[in-house]
Amino acid sequence: MVAVEVAVGAEKIITANRLKKIMKRCFIIGGGPSIAETNLDLIKDEFVIGVNEAFRFGTWIDIWFFSDSDIYKNHKKEIQKWPNRIVSCAGAAKRNKKIEFYYRCKKHPICFKEKHLAFPGKGANSGATAINLAIREGFDQIILLGFDMKIVNGKHHYHSYYKREPRDDAYERFMPHFEAIAKESKVEILNATPDSALPFFKKVKLENIIGEN
């Protein structure tokens, strides 16, 4: 089959069959410690949303998403060089023409209002808002990676790029947004994070998900 070029990452030239497959599902890479032990090579041919620092894995990340203005302020050079889509609801990013900016919707856990993403007053966090983005993009299935939602061996993240770590009770405070998404979503959301403390989505193994296709 002749390869077809599509805008799903600077390093991706895919067949029509591959395009049909990946447009049905999306992987979201969160920031949990388990990412350090996850074989991300398995998803390099998939459609991937990378949250916050996940853009560093490479330009096979199709969408770089962040909601924190500190990410924008700390990565202005990287943003200018990034070849793929960047989506954000961080106020500091509003006027940057390279970024697809969304306003924050504080009323709903999943928001479909034009140019808005859910960022409710109770439990708002970048990972949950990235799920809203994937739903808006039209995927039938969303698979979560790095959504540990707990401290693992003293670590909040798989990296050490942040100057400040979250409070220890951050994950408890984030839970309401995930729970509300689970109740309202018509899309299948699967959690492929090993030993995740996030209870609202069916837990699966990444290798099994990849093996199904």
CATH number at residue 152: 3.90.1480.10
Domain count, the chain: 1
**For residue 111, is it within any domain?**
yes
Torsion of the alpha carbons at 76, 47, 30 and 58, rounded to the nearest 10: -50
Range of the domain at 23: 12-211
pLDDT at 157: 75
Buried b (16+ CB within 10 A) or exposed e, 120-140: beebbbbbbbbbbbbbbbebe
Q: What tens digit of pLDDT does each residue of 129-165 get?
A: 999 999 999 999 999 999 998 877 778 777 767 667 6
pLDDT at 138: 93
**For residue 7, is it within any domain?**
no
pLDDT class for 22, splitting at 50, 70, 90? Answer: low
Whole-model pTM: value is 0.86
Measured between alpha carbons, how far is residue 2 from residues 14, 26, 42 in Å? 9, 24, 23
* Helix 170-184 and helix 126-136, axial crossing angle in degrees, nearest 10: 20
Q: What tens digit of pLDDT does each residue of 40-60 get?
A: 999 999 999 999 999 999 999
pLDDT class for 5, splitting at 50, 70, 90? Answer: very low
Amino acid letter for position 159: H
User: Bigger pLDDT: 166 or 89?
Assistant: 89
User: Averaged over 169-191, what is the pLDDT?
Assistant: 89
**For residue 1, is it within any domain?**
no
Measured between alpha carbons, how far is residue 124 from residues 57, 78, 117, 191 in Å? 25, 26, 11, 18
